[in-house]
Structures are given as structure tokens and as C-alpha cells.
């Protein structure tokens, strides 16, 4: 099997260049339309569309504020260009949304709300002085209420404020310790896009688990990303009621690959590890097997995944099993690389992980091609 380098590109879907944005905005202004006006013409009169119309105006305003204060935001976070890219991408997503797709409209509205919150917090936050132990974002509105929020935490590598998307399950009680799942996003995916997944939120509610999705610089090959993930973990333990015995690492796609690398740094922190649509690589397989030899591993894939074919995940299962690790394998019939297509298999894996089910036969629901021996080389 060839290696799968963890090189997710920085997320700027639909990014508009500065010149293109200004030209586009000027054209709309000349017609008497802002972004909100354009959405009002093209979107149906549904509650979600009404929300998107309001958010589109907020995006335009917020983008201008970030650009005007670009140097200040950059000094505080190091991600000013990424923030502008997010806002551009959100505008593009609104304009490309099919009028009849109310489900996607609701998810997009939730994600945009988080992206706007991130930009707003970075505009209002102070730069962190060396030695400052404060946790910016810890008093963000709604930070302890069930649902989603976007938080900021100081990265130890450079003291820059970094984004962290959080989901608190229904029934979250700050007086009771809860499980925590660090979820690692895929390539070309924002942490805000992953945290609004209805599937992940339902699973979190089922387990009473808190979800935390760090941005991790948007690139797991960035030397600061692993440190950011553990800084995010420390932030979550300080800001929320977390059971230290029940902390899990779950990665999707590129995040699934990264889960096999990140957890090696502090193997004692993790109750279990789950890779969804990801696999080991030849470069990281032995280090992971050596470091996580007593930690249960759950592998989820789809029989129809053409991005990371099931045979690669099977090879990972076989390698880890041969090295004495406890592994559970779940293959969704017809499942693809899309997270939602893996729902039934992921649900079984999730429930087994929280129940501590590990020492039983792998859950293979359909025959799949026999794996090669490339991982064994």
C-alpha cells in the first residue's frame, strides 16, 4: 500500500480574491443589492433562508472589519488570512445553495454562526503576553449551555489564539464529569463544519459526551498542530466538567490518519482511538503499535470508499492485530468517504467504544477485497 501523507490543504472553499470580492461587492452595490439582497432574490422564504439572509449581511460586515484590522488579528492568532478565507467560503456556500435544500441551509447557518463568532472573538480579544496563563474565550456567551460554540485557547507553541469548536450534549451538567471526544477534521474541512454534523451530535447526545474539534492550524503536517491538539485538551479540562478517564480521540479522513500520529505523543491520555475513513501509513504504523499497545482501536470504513479504500483499513486492522493490539473493524455496505454515509457502522462503533466492547470478532458486514501485504513490509 502506498503511503498516505497527511497533507490536508488549508481550508478556503470558494475563496474570493480581494480584487474579485471588491469588484463583486461594488457591482451588487451598483444594483442596490448587498450580499443579503442577492440571497433574498434567490432563496426561498423559509426560516433557514431568512436566517441565511441575515447572516450574509453579517458576513459582509465582519469580513470588512477583519480586513481593516488584519494586522491586529494576525498578531493575536496568526490565522487572519484563514479567517478571511472562511468568511469568503461561507458567502460562496450561501450563493451555491440549492433553494430546496433546507437541510443543508440549516447546517450552513449553524456553521456560519460559529465562523462569525470566531472572527468576532479575535477582533475583541487581547494579544497574549509571554507568561500570561489566561484562557481567552472561557467566558464566551453560551459557553456552558448545550449546543455548539466556537472557543479560543492559547497555543503553547507560539501563544497565538487558536480556534476550537465545541459541542455540549443535551443534559450537560457542569457538576457532573462527562466523557470528552477530541474529533479531528478532514482535509479541506473546517472544525466548524465537522462539529455541526447531525450524526456526531446525535452520537454525543447518546453517550452524554462533549465534543471538541480543534483547528490544529488546518494542517496536520504543521509542526505546531499536535501541540495545539493537546493544548485544546487542557483547555477543555479547565473550562468544562470532563472525566479524565474517558477521553477519546476520533479522527475523520485526514483526521483519521492524524489520530494514529497525534496519540503517540501522550498515549496515556486516551481511553480509546477511532479512525473513520482513515488508516495507518508505513511511516507511522510501528510507532503507533508500540505506544498504544494497550489502547482499544476502532476502525470505520465504507465498502464504496474510493478515497481511502476499505482494503487499506483492513490492512491497518491486520497489522495492529498481528502486533497484539485490540482492534474492532466496522465496514458499512455501500458507504463512501462521506461521513453521513457511514452512519450505521459508525453508530455501532461509537456505542461499542463507550461500552468498552473490544475483545470480540470484528464487525464485517460485507465481503471486501483481500488486503495486500504492503503494510507488513
Instruction: Indicate the pTM of the whole model.
Output: 0.83
- Is there a single domain that holds both residue 158 and residue 100? no
Query: First vs last Cα of the chain: how many Å apart?
Result: 9
Which CATH number characterizes residue 198's domain? 3.40.50.1820
| Counted domains in the chain | 2
Inside any domain, residue 216: yes
* Percent share of the chain, pLDDT over 90: 72
Domain limits at 267?
147-376
pLDDT, residue 309, reads: 98
Inside any domain, residue 7: no
Inside any domain, residue 328: yes
- Is there a single domain that holds both residue 163 and residue 53? no
Q: pLDDT (tens digit, 0 to 9) for every residue of the chain, 377 residues total?
A: 444 333 333 433 334 444 444 444 443 343 333 433 333 334 445 677 788 888 999 999 999 999 999 999 999 999 999 999 999 999 999 999 887 888 899 999 999 999 999 999 999 986 555 545 444 444 454 567 899 999 999 999 999 999 999 999 999 999 999 999 999 999 999 999 999 999 999 999 999 999 999 999 999 999 999 999 999 999 999 999 999 999 999 999 999 999 999 999 999 999 999 999 999 999 999 999 999 999 999 999 999 999 999 999 999 999 999 999 999 999 999 999 999 999 999 999 999 999 997 544 444 443 333 333 334 33
Domain finish residue from 124, 157, 188: 124
Inside any domain, residue 330: yes
- Is there a single domain that holds both residue 44 and residue 158? no
- Is there a single domain that holds both residue 368 and residue 234? yes
- Is there a single domain that holds both residue 184 and residue 227? yes
Domain finish residue from 124, 157, 189: 124
- Is there a single domain that holds both residue 31 and residue 167? no
pLDDT tens profile 310-332: 999 999 999 999 999 999 999 99
pLDDT, residue 128, reads: 54
- Is there a single domain that holds both residue 235 and residue 343? yes
- Is there a single domain that holds both residue 68 and residue 165? no
pLDDT, residue 100, reads: 81
Domain finish residue from 124, 155, 175: 124
Inside any domain, residue 135: no
Inside any domain, residue 13: no
pLDDT, residue 144, reads: 77
pLDDT, residue 168, reads: 97
pLDDT, residue 142, reads: 54
- Is there a single domain that holds both residue 214 and residue 87? no
pLDDT, residue 12, reads: 38
pLDDT, residue 99, reads: 79
- Is there a single domain that holds both residue 219 and residue 315? yes
- Is there a single domain that holds both residue 47 and residue 119? yes
Inside any domain, residue 8: no
- Is there a single domain that holds both residue 303 and residue 155? yes
Inside any domain, residue 234: yes
Angle at 225 (CA atoms; ends 220, 226), nearest 5 degrees:
100
Amino acid at each position: 500500500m502506498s503511503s498516505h501523507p497527511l497533507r490536508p490543504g488549508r481550508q478556503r472553499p470558494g475563496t474570493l480574491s480581494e480584487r474579485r470580492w471588491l469588484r463583486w461587492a461594488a457591482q451588487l452595490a451598483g444594483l442596490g443589492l448587498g450580499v443579503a439582497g442577492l440571497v433574498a432574490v434567490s432563496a426561498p422564504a423559509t426560516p433557514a433562508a431568512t436566517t441565511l439572509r441575515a447572516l450574509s449581511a453579517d458576513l459582509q460586515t465582519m469580513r470588512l472589519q477583519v480586513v481593516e484590522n488584519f494586522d491586529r488579528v494576525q498578531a493575536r492568532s496568526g490565522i487572519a488570512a484563514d479567517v478571511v478565507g472562511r468568511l469568503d467560503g461561507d458567502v460562496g456556500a450561501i450563493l451555491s445553495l440549492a433553494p430546496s435544500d433546507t437541510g443543508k441551509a440549516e447546517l450552513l447557518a449553524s456553521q456560519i454562526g460559529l465562523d462569525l463568532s470566531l472572527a468576532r472573538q479575535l477582533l475583541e480579544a487581547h494579544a497574549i503576553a509571554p507568561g500570561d496563563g489566561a484562557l481567552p474565550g472561557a467566558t464566551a456567551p453560551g459557553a456552558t449551555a448545550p449546543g455548539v460554540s466556537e472557543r479560543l485557547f492559547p497555543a503553547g507553541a507560539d501563544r497565538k489564539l487558536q480556534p476550537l469548536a465545541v459541542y455540549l450534549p443535551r443534559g450537560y451538567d457542569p457538576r457532573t464529569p462527562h466523557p470528552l471526544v477530541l474529533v479531528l477534521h478532514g482535509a479541506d474541512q473546517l472544525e466548524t463544519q465537522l462539529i455541526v454534523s447531525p450524526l456526531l451530535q446525535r452520537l454525543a447526545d447518546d453517550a452524554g459526551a462533549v465534543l471538541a474539534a480543534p483547528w490544529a492550524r488546518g494542517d496536520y503536517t504543521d509542526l505546531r498542530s499536535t501541540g495545539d491538539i493537546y493544548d485544546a485538551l487542557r483547555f477543555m479540562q479547565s473550562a468544562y466538567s470532563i472525566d479524565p478517564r474517558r477521553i477519546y480521540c476520533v479522527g475523520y479522513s485526514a483526521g483519521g490518519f492524524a489520530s494514529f500520529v497525534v496519540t503517540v505523543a501522550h498515549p496515556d491520555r486516551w481511553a480509546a482511538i477511532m479512525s473513520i475513513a482513515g488508516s495507518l501509513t508505513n511511516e507511522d504504523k510501528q510507532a503507533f503499535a508500540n505506544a498504544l499497545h494497550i489502547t482499544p482501536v476502532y476502525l470505520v470504513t465504507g465498502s464504496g470508499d474510493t478515497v481511502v479504500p476499505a482494503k487499506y483499513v483492513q490492512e491497518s486492522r491486520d497489522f495492529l492485530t498481528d502486533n497484539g493490539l485490540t482492534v474492532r473493524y466496522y465496514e458499512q455496505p455501500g458507504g463512501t468517504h462521506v461521513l453521513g454515509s457511514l452512519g450505521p457502522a459508525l453508530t455501532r462503533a461509537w456505542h461499542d467504544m463507550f461500552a468498552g466492547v473490544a475483545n470480540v470478532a470484528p464487525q464485517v458486514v460485507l465481503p471486501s477485497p483481500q488486503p495486500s501485504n504492503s503494510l507488513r513490509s
